[in-house]
Structure 1
């Protein structure tokens, strides 16, 4: 279902990310706006904000959610400088990465 937040269009594979602006230590606000526009257009912003809740592990939707979470994590990592991506690569949930980046960098610019 294309309107589902879990829907991944074939053109939205992990190799389809086009990076034109990566997060550095001093460009958080324009970077976050750029990422938000991209993720809203893909109907995936709820994964970053946490409004798409993690289903229980026994819920059949958990596997679908986990697949989306990992793909979105991959997209987000591609919007980060190499040094910043190394600091968040081991987070399990993309919402934690998003919130951590905001906490760490939103005061810098």
Structure 2
């Protein structure tokens, strides 16, 4: 697929705003995100690849809004785009994980399999993330770096701990409860550090 638009019929013009359009620089070997997924940190990887695919106008291939086309000419172009999106996702997976989803026919099926295996909230994920939060210390880092470390874990917890459908008032209450919990976690470590500094001096 050296020329990503080579499969487009001569009489079929595709506008650059169309999800089926390829930029001349697009190719299957592109690495869209710097974060490779190795089985950990699924939430961060998912967010990064989602942004990247959206930036390429190919997000519809994973969220089921750009389904397989019936027109024969358009189907060939759709398949080319689907294969390109698959390649971009595979390029960000480690070898073992890539093998586990290699034979899925569409980008959406592959995406769903990854979400099913790694994106579901479970006790092991919660345990590891909560453990990470307990082990984070400010040390010699400034407060901004310390906060960034904690926020990374909070964001991943949010990604796997999706609030079920409910009223806006209930959802807001859940969100405020989580914010209060995080503030307390953040302040506990800061207070501990300040106490240690006072004792040292």
Same fold (TM over 0.5): yes
1:25 aligns with 2:25: no
Which protein has the larger Cα radius of gyration, Structure 1 or Structure 2?
Answer: 2
Moved more, 31-40 or 21-30: 21-30
1:46 aligns with 2:71: no
1:81 aligns with 2:91: no
| TM-score between both structures, scaled by the size of structure 2 | 0.51
1:59 aligns with 2:99: no
Distance 1:54 1:82 in 2: 28
Moved over 3 A (4+): none
| TM-score between both structures, scaled by the size of structure 1 | 0.91
CA positional deviation for 1:59: 3.2
Compare relative contact order (CA 8 Å, sep 6+) and give the higher one, 1 or 2: 1
Q: Which runs of 5+ in 2 are unaligned?
A: 1-14, 130-201
* Number of corresponding residues: 108
Q: Which runs of 5+ in 1 are unaligned?
A: none
Q: What is the alpha-carbon root mean square deviation over aligned residues? A: 1.4
* Structure 2 equivalent of residue 2 of structure 1: 16
2:81 maps to which of 43, 65, 68:
68
